[in-house]
Amino acid sequence: MTSLWTAVSGFTVSQNAINTTAHNLANIDTDGSTRQQVIIQDFHYNKIGQSTYSSMQTGLGAATQVVRQVRDEFYDKQYRTESGRLSFYDAQKQAILEIEDIMGELENSPFQESIQKLWNNIQELVKSPDDKTARASLAKNAEAFVQRAETIYKQLEQYQVNMNQQINDKVTQINGLGEKIAQLNEQITKVESGGVERANDLRDKRNLYIDQLSKLIDVKATEEFDGSVTIMAENVQFVTGTSSYSMSTVRVADGSDMVKPVWDHIKTDVFDMTREPSYEAGTNLGSLKGLIWARGNSSANYTNIPQKGDFATDADYQAAIDKYNLEIESSVIRTTQAQFDTLIHGIVTAVNDILSPNVEATLADGTKIQILSPNAPMGMDGDKTQGTELFSRKSTSRYDKDTVIYMKNTGTAENPVYEECAETDADAFRAYRYNEEDPSDKYTLYSLGEIEINKDILADYSKIPLSQSGGTGDFAYNGVAKALADIWNQPFSTLNPNVLKVNTFNEYYTAIWGDLATKGEKYIASAENQQIMVDNISTARQNVMGISSDEELANMIKYQHAYNAAARYFNVVDSMLEHLVTRL
């Protein structure tokens, strides 16, 4: 009778193998499905004696050892790492493409046209500084210049805020995947707790979720002895057994429009923003991090680019450069904002400083201040107004005209020295103190968002101060207009503290665009290279875990033959037993 059960074991394992093969064929196009393979082993041997020449054992048939998934753990880890890196660079690339659209250089309305029109108007004023039409054109084009610059800057800010929704969506996806993996852990451990069956279909689904999770955030998955997986996300416990931890988004700072992800269970930031992502450190993984680094945690302006003259020591300047590289240069949006605002600030202040120049003066207590130069150009209005700037701050006037200060020149006409004096002193004149820009107070800055065209000039173009004739009204003198024209060809600034080339205004804008294009090419090339790498790894991975219809059909035939062989063996034993029984 044992022989019959040996034949039955052949039926059983062959049927299991046929069922597994049919399952593979049915799931050949199922996303994430892994090829399953039946491992067959000897069931048991009975020892019936002892012999010098034989082991004297009889076999009791075959058994299914395990129905295993054919996967390569090394390929899984490599695929998840490289697909996470691909998602990081894709997020950076998309940010670059969006900025290019905002800047308009690839469309029909590049911002450089606004710069060129402003310069062309100044050139016309050089020819005829007293021409009211040329003055009106200058004011209108200056207004259009500011409005276009404001529009671009606001669009960059709005894009930053709009990225919050993408960040919120990805946080929701991450939390959802964590919950699904924890639920699958529970189901898998229940199915496999008896040590008889492996929950391969559930494992396939769980691996698919881990693959999806790796594209969003840096993950490391470790399988435990009970079949569950433990997942570390950004080196923080994310899934353990049947539990998953969640993250949420909070405002970066009070009053900020931007959000950041934080871990709910430990109340800490998900990402360490004090470390710039890098390939060497393996920290450039996941689209969520790519979004946050491309966006930055706040908008930037010209004050975020350090200028050497603003620092007392080289060490202080180097510290400022390091901070710039970490917080600004690493974010494509913040870099563009800071560089663009630097250009606008440079043009605005250069024009204002010619039309309404300041000189240094000393108060009675020794304090050094800036005041309106007594030799400032005048308008061609009846009052021959001095100190009228073209570009004004919305919230801060150029000069403090409420505080009465009197100064006199204690030097010479060629080398004036202005010191505070009494109103009754000979040669005393009323001085207007310049309201300095304060980086800690955005409302004092000539920065985008705070600039407008002087309302006095829009109301009366004759107030544009272009005369330096000492009050004679000789407006044919074009020295002021020529000085305005000359600033466009004078050295202005390096693009950032990491380069040495000093640009003019036009060169600076070209450099902004060149820097953006270079970064775009870098991220696009990185994304393309990563895509090739991911595709190669995916192909190698599929060669191991993928289902081949030809191979499975060959297995189907093989296991069908094995089933038939077991059937014939069963028939032979059955006939033999029948013969023995009937003969006895």
Let me know whether 550 and 460 are in one domain. Answer: no
pTM of the model: 0.85
Q: Which of 464, 489, 515 is the last residue of a domain?
A: 464
Question: How close are the terminal C-alpha atoms of the chain, in Å?
Answer: 17
Q: Greatest CA separation found in the chain?
A: 150
Q: Which of 402, 431, 464 is the last residue of a domain?
A: 464
Let me know whether 369 and 460 are in one domain. Answer: yes
Nearest to 183 by CA among 206, 207, 204: 206
Q: Is residue 258 part of a domain?
A: no
> Which portions of the chain are predicted below pLDDT 70?
1, 52, 105-109, 469-478
Q: Is residue 447 part of a domain?
A: yes
d(CA 157, CA 160): 5
Q: Is residue 80 part of a domain?
A: no
pLDDT value for 473? 47
How many other β-carbons are positioned within 10 Å of the β-carbon of residue 290?
27
SS3 378: strand
Q: Is 396 exposed, middle or buried (0-12, 13-18, 19+ CB in 10 A)?
A: middle
Nearest to 142 by CA among 366, 390, 445, 361: 390
Nearest to 462 by CA among 383, 355, 379: 379
Domain count, the chain: 2
Q: Is residue 13 part of a domain?
A: yes
pLDDT value for 36? 86
Q: Which of 434, 464, 494 is the last residue of a domain?
A: 464
pLDDT value for 15? 87
Distances (CA, A) of 271 to 82, 162, 288: 19, 20, 10
Owner of token pair 């052949």: 10
User: What one-character-per-residue DSSP string does 482-512 give?
Assistant: HHHHHGGGS--EESSTT---EE-HHHHHHHH
d(CA 523, CA 198): 43
pLDDT value for 435? 96
Q: Is residue 393 part of a domain?
A: yes
Full domain range(s) for residue 12: 2-70+546-583
Q: Is residue 33 part of a domain?
A: yes
Q: Is residue 365 part of a domain?
A: yes
Q: Give the ranges where 112-227 is alpha helix by DSSP (H).
A: 112-127, 132-192, 200-216
- Bridge-based pairing state of the strands 429-434 and 493-494: unpaired
pLDDT value for 471? 45
Distances (CA, A) of 214 to 79, 177, 221, 301: 9, 10, 10, 35
Owner of token pair 């229940």: 190
Q: What is the pLDDT of residues 480-522, one digit of tens each?
A: 889 999 999 999 999 999 999 999 998 999 999 889 989 989 9
Q: What is the DSSP letter of 467?
A: B
Q: What is the pLDDT of residues 411-453, one digit of tens each?
A: 998 899 999 999 999 899 999 999 999 999 999 999 999 999 9
Q: Is residue 366 part of a domain?
A: yes
What is the 3 state secondary structure string of 220-284? EEEECCCCCEEEEECCEEEEECCEECCEEEEECCCCCCCEEEEECCCCEECCCCCCCCCCCCCCC
